[in-house]
């Protein structure tokens, strides 16, 4: 089976490469804009530079590679940046999906599309796959529109919704809540963390495993892939501090009204993952287990030379 990954330089992309490169009879084609920045010591895999907003390039690369499965992880995910630059957000999160689906159809490739809990309003949670999207910001709107494009296409597909992904890789363009809290506390910095939002965090390795289970089974439909436990960001921050033996007294709770952000956040989401557990055999780490897993991986990362 040949699997083409978009967004291969991102956190999830790197975890997918790390996972799939060790699977038998799997050929990995990693794609991302610009050069390859994956520094894992892995068996050979193929990398191609790909700008997903370039229709001709998308068609050319996918026609050349002829993948059996496309796992589309690339997206503009900075929520405030999406609110402030809506045209760029739409091009990456919606128009590019149209081009990828067009190319996938020509190759009869199975399409795995990554989405988000931000397609929901946040009025209630946790939510299962039957909940109706009602986004409250432009990022959520773009991802909702992309979901509709995938669902209305003739391409066999799965939609993977996830939430608050955390983890570490040798080369990362963005931080996440675990790394931010850890670094802040290590530097003796006082931080304020909201306690009026609710999420199910997701270890990046678990998300990669969920995507692989879907690709392997070519399981169609929508799947919620995350942890099972619902936390506030404040609760997560305290658990991070406690796990790494840092000074949790530096963490103070606040609410979202104290932060002036361009984009609204849904107050309460979180996922019910019974469908993924039953149909895919998906079994995530708990948040505490995820922190322990990440701690071990941090030690390995420190030994990897990054040019």
CA–CA distance, 40 with 125 (Å, rounded to integer)? 37
Q: How far is CA 22 from CA 44, 45, 179, in A?
A: 10, 10, 27
> For residues 302 and 169, is the Cβ–Cβ distance under 8 A?
no
> Would you state the pLDDT for residue 40?
59
Per DSSP, which regions of 139-246 are E strands? Answer: 157-162, 165-166, 191-194, 202-203, 221-224
Chain segment 205-237, per-residue pLDDT in tens: 999 999 999 999 999 999 999 999 999 999 999
CA distance 307 to 38: 11
pLDDT one-digit tens code per residue, 130-186: 999 999 999 999 999 999 999 999 999 999 999 999 999 887 778 999 999 999 999
In the chain, pLDDT over 90 holds for what percent of residues?
87
Residue 80: both structure tokens together:
């405030």
| The two three-digit tokens of residue 116, written as one number | 């988000």
What gap in Å lies between CA 41 and CA 50, rounded to an integer? 23
DSSP single-letter state for residue 53: T
Confidence at residue 307, expressed as pLDDT on a 0 to 100 scale: 47
Residue range 2-174+201-229+269-285 in CATH 3.40.50.720: yes
What are the residue ranges spanned by the domains of the chain?
A: 2-174+201-229+269-285
For the record, the structure tokens of 58 come out as: 């998308």
Across 75-98, average pLDDT = 98
pLDDT on residue 270: 94
| pLDDT-derived band at 44, boundaries 50, 70, 90 | low
User: Is residue 244 classed exposed, middle or buried when 0-12, 13-18 and 19+ CB atoms within 10 A define those classes?
Assistant: middle
Beta carbons of 120 and 134 less than 8 angstroms apart: yes
Cis status of the peptide bond prior to 96, with omega within 30 of 0: no
**Residue 306 clears pLDDT 60, i.e. is over it:** no
Q: Are strands 221-224 and 165-166 parallel, antiparallel or unpaired?
A: unpaired
Q: What is the pLDDT of residues 268-289, one digit of tens each?
A: 999 999 999 999 999 999 999 9
- High-pLDDT (> 70) share of the chain, %: 96
Query: What integer is the mean pLDDT of 182-207?
Result: 97
Check if the beta carbon of residue 89 is closer than 8 Å to that of residue 81: yes
The pLDDT score that the predictor gives to residue 41 is 57
Res 192: pLDDT:
97
Report the half-sphere exposure of 246 (CA within 13 A, side-chain side): 24
The rounded mean pLDDT for the chain is 94
Instruction: Specify the higher pLDDT residue, 21 or 61.
Output: 61
Reported as a pLDDT band with limits 50, 70 and 90, residue 245 is: very high
Compute the average pLDDT of residues 90-110. Answer: 98
């Amino acid at each position: 089976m040949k699997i083409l990954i978009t967004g291969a330089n991102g956190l999830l992309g790197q975890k997918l490469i790390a996972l799939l490169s060790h699977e038998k009879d799997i050929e990995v084609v990693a794609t991302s804009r610009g050069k390859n920045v994956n520094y894992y010591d892995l068996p050979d895999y193929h990398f191609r530079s790909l700008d997903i907003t370039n229709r001709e390039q998308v068609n050319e690369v996918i026609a050349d590679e002829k993948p059996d499965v496309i796992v589309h992880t690339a997206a503009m995910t900075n929520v405030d940046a999406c609110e402030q630059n809506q045209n760029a957000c739409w091009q990456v999160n919606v128009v590019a999906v149209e081009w990828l689906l067009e190319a996938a159809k020509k190759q009869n490739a199975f399409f795995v599309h990554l989405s988000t809990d931000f397609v929901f309003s946040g009025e209630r949670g946790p939510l299962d796959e039957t909940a109706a999207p009602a986004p409250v910001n432009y990022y959520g709107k773009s991802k909702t529109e992309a979901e509709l494009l995938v669902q209305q296409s003739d391409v066999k597909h799965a939609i993977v919704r996830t939430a608050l992904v955390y983890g570490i890789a040798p080369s990362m363009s963005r931080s996440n809540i675990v790394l931010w809290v850890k670094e802040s506390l290590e530097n003796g910095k006082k931080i304020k963390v909201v306690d009026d939002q609710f999420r199910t965090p997701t270890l990046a390795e678990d998300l990669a495993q969920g995507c692989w289970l879907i690709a392997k089974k070519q399981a169609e439909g929508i799947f919620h892939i995350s942890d099972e436990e619902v936390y506030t960001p404040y609760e997560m921050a305290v658990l991070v501090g406690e796990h790494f033996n840092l000074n949790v007294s530096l963490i103070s709770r606040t609410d979202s009204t104290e932060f002036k952000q361009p984009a609204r956040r849904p107050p309460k989401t979180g996922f019910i993952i019974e469908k993924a557990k039953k149909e895919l055999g998906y079994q995530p780490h708990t948040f505490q287990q995820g922190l322990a897993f990440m701690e071990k991986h941090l030690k390995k990362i420190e030994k990897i030379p990054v040019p």
